[in-house]
């Protein structure tokens, strides 16, 4: 939904001279749809596939509703404002979604549930789009991506703190592997 809204925001009928926003988010949308297609094809659980299908149908309906409202009820800068605010809301939700993991990291004092490279990617994405939002100033790109950069920075700080000062849970409660990969007995060198 985030990429759909930013694609719509990037169209000349909403905001002129926003080709980069349109192309980047269109590529992201294609990648996400390919990922979901692979998931639906290979998912073992029929119930989970139906849930994904219902969510996609709901998102398509919401996207059509947003486009219809924007095109029929607003024009010019009012349309840009309407679509920009909705795009910001979904973008902030995307950037804030790792907040659910922050609680687990703090309570367990371990970073095993927070992927480092995903944190770096979120921070980098926020920084790059914030810089782009200054060239020329686009308040809608600045707000959500500036917050995303801040969330990413906090997440990396949290990762660094608990990586250095947290407890190591990588060896707790795990049995040695029962899979033998060589002719040597398990544990032998």
pLDDT, position 181: 45
Which of 57, 76, 94 represents a domain boundary (last residue)?
94
Residue 64 reports pLDDT greater than 50: yes
Total of domains in the chain: 2
The pTM score is 0.80
Q: Is residue 187 part of a domain?
A: no
Residue 86 reports pLDDT greater than 60: yes
Q: What is the band of 180 on the pLDDT scale with cuts at 50, 70, 90?
A: very low
- In the three-class reduction of DSSP (H, G, I as helix; E, B as strand; rest coil), residue 137 is classed as strand
Domain identity same for 14 and 90: yes
Domain identity same for 89 and 102: no
pLDDT, position 37: 87
Contact yes or no for 77/14 (Cβ under 8 A): no
Domain identity same for 101 and 134: yes
Which residue range forms the structural domain that includes residue 86?
1-94
Q: What is the CATH number of the domain that holds 111?
A: 1.20.1280
Q: What is the dihedral of CA 122, 84, 54, 44, to 10 degrees?
A: -20
Q: What's the average model confidence in pLDDT over 106-132?
A: 91
Q: Is residue 57 part of a domain?
A: yes
Domain identity same for 3 and 60: yes
Which of 59, 75, 94 represents a domain boundary (last residue)?
94
Domain identity same for 11 and 84: yes
Domain identity same for 26 and 64: yes
Q: What's the average model confidence in pLDDT over 50-75?
A: 94
Residue 54 reports pLDDT greater than 60: yes
CA-nearest of 144, 143, 140, 146 to 14 is 140
């Amino acid at each position: 939904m985030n990429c759909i809204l930013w694609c719509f925001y990037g169209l000349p009928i909403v905001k002129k001279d926003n080709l980069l926003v349109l192309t980047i988010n269109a590529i992201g949308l294609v990648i996400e749809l390919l990922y979901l297609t692979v998931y639906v094809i290979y998912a073992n659980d029929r119930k989970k596939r139906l849930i994904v299908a219902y969510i996609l149908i709901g998102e398509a309906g919401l996207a059509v509703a947003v486009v219809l409202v924007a095109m029929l009820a607003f024009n010019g800068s009012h349309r840009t404002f309407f679509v920009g605010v909705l795009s910001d809301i979904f973008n902030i939700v995307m950037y804030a979604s790792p907040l659910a993991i922050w609680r687990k990291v703090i309570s367990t004092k371990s970073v095993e549930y927070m992927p480092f490279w995903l944190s770096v990617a979120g921070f980098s994405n926020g920084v790059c789009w914030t810089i782009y939002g200054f060239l020329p100033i686009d308040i809608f790109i600045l707000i959500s991506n500036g917050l995303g950069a801040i969330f990413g920075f906090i997440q990396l700080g949290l990762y660094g703190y608990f990586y250095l000062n947290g407890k190591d849970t990588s060896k707790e409660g795990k049995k040695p592997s029962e899979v033998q990969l060589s002719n040597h007995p398990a544990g032998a060198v």
